[in-house]
Every structure is written in structure tokens, then in C-alpha cells.
Amino acid sequence: MIKILFFGDIFGKLGRQGMIKALPDLKEKYQPDITIANAENLAHGRGVTESTIKEMLKAGIDMFTSGNHVWDKNDAYNIFAQKDSPLIRPANYPEETAGKGEKLLKIGLKKVLVINLIGRVFFREDFNDPFAEIDKILEKYKKDKPNAIIIDFHAEATSEKIALGHFLDGKVSAMLGTHTHVQTADNKILEQGTAYISDLGMTGPQDSVIGLEKTAIINNFFTQINKSAQVPETGMCQINGVYLEIDPKTQKALKIERINTQVEI
């Protein structure tokens, strides 16, 4: 079987340090063939930098998906321009956007196709239709005969994630939601063999409001004045994600197990 660890949005320095501290034990436990994480909040909660990507590669993450915040630091363009870049962005951005929306990985004789998509509900941007986009990508890679196909669907609305999950049931190995930073308890294998969860959660500050200092965010709700909030750099780090087992002959999921643990930073 193919064994995969996939972690929710790594948020800031505390999230990166938490991953460095927790990943060796998780790899020892699960013995994954590949480890993937969403990186759109890697650099102080907004965007990515070349140094933070290198830090996470050194920690043992093999590749990264992202979302709408990946552009918040200009380093993203340099990372996307790299040959065989470890970072992908949602595939349903316009074609001329920097970067690629999918990556075909080789694990020995096996091939794993990782695809990034973004939702349209509650986003201000006018993204291409993720339902139509994924059909085009799956058709494009038919000839490669991937042994597993993993989707990171970076979306706000649970209904949109669930709908795409059912749309892709039997077409992909796993449909994993990201973006909301709160891990959902609906991990399951759908009728046609696709592993599903509405949101992987977050790898970042546990005592926070989805990664940001809680007092400032609470005050924003009281005053309706949106002031910036700091990212906690010490304290408990929650580690959220899933462990997947995929049958390489059928592309179907055999197992999806939630990871929800903590380490002190």
C-alpha cells in the first residue's frame, strides 16, 4: 500500500517548530512513503518564504500545497519558478498565474498525483470552477496511470467541500479540505473508495484564534475595527492532519486516520 501523511496549514514560527519537534515521532509511528503539508501560512501566518520552505524540507516534508495567502510574500514567485518546485498552488487560478496546480511524484515504481484546488464560495476572487478544473486535470494525467491521487481543496464552505468530495468519489484516492484551520471529525471513506475530510485543521498555536493572538481578535469583534494581531511564538502547538493508506492497484483508500496531537514550544 501507499502510506501518506498530510498536515493542515502550518502557521508561523510556532507551527514550524511544532512540526520539527513532532514529525520524527509521527514518521516513526506511521512510516509514510511521502509527507505533505499546506504551506500558505508558513511565514508568520501569511505566505511563504524560501527560508521557511527550506526549513520544512529539512524537517522531512516532501512537498507543499497552498491557497489564497501563498502570494502574501513575494518569495512565492521565486519558489514557483524553481525547477521541480516543491510548492504548488490551486490549479483553478487563471492559467497565466505563476506556479503549477498539480505535481506527479514518484515513490519507487509508484506514482502519486497531488492536486491543489480552491473554492469559490465566500471568496472575493473570481476563481475558475474547481469542479470543471479537476475533470480536466484527471483527464490530462490518465496516460500516466497514477497509483494514488490526492486533492487539497482549500475552501471556506463545508457544503462546497462535501459536494466536491461526492463528485470525486471513485475518481481520486483522497479529497482533503484545508483553509478553516479547525479540524473536522467527519473523516470517512466514501461509497466508491475516496477518503474524505472537510478540513485537516491547523499546525500552529493552540491557544489562539485560528493562529492569531486571541485578545486582539476578540477586541476586533467588539469594536468592529479590524486591527492586525500577532502570531504567538511560544506555547502549545497543535499538530493536525491525516494518515492515509491507499491501494496502489485500485487507487482506492483503505484508511484515513485523523492526527490531532500537541507539543510544547
**Right CATH number for 2-264 from 3.40.50.300, 1.10.3720.10, 3.30.700.30, 3.60.21.10?**
3.60.21.10
Q: Please report, for the chain, the start and end positions of each structural domain, with discontinuous segments joined by +.
A: 2-264
| Cα-based distances in Å from 93 to 37, 90, 158, 168 | 20, 6, 20, 20
60 and 35 Cβ atoms separated by less than 8 Å: yes
> What is the residue-wise DSSP string for 125-188?
S-PPPHHHHHHHHHHHTGGG--SEEEEEEE-S-HHHHHHHHHHHBTTBSEEEEESS-S--S--E
pLDDT at 142: 96
pLDDT in tens, the chain (265 residues): 999 999 999 999 999 999 999 999 999 999 999 999 999 999 999 999 999 999 999 999 999 999 999 999 999 999 999 999 999 999 999 999 999 999 999 999 999 999 999 999 999 999 999 999 999 999 999 999 999 999 999 999 999 999 999 999 999 999 999 999 999 999 999 999 999 999 999 999 999 999 999 999 999 999 999 999 999 999 999 999 999 999 999 999 999 999 999 999 9
What pLDDT shows up at residue 264? Answer: 97
Task: Indicate whether this model's pTM tops 0.85.
Answer: yes
Total residue length of the chain: 265
> What are the Cα distances from residue 2, in Å, to 6, 27, 190?
13, 14, 18
Which residue of the set 44, 69, 166, 181 is catalytic? Answer: 69
Asked if 179 is an active-site residue, the reply is no
Instruction: Name the one residue in this structure whose C-alpha cell is 498525483.
Output: 113
Hey, what's the cell of 88?
504548488
Q: Which pLDDT belongs to residue 182?
A: 98
pLDDT of residue 83: 92
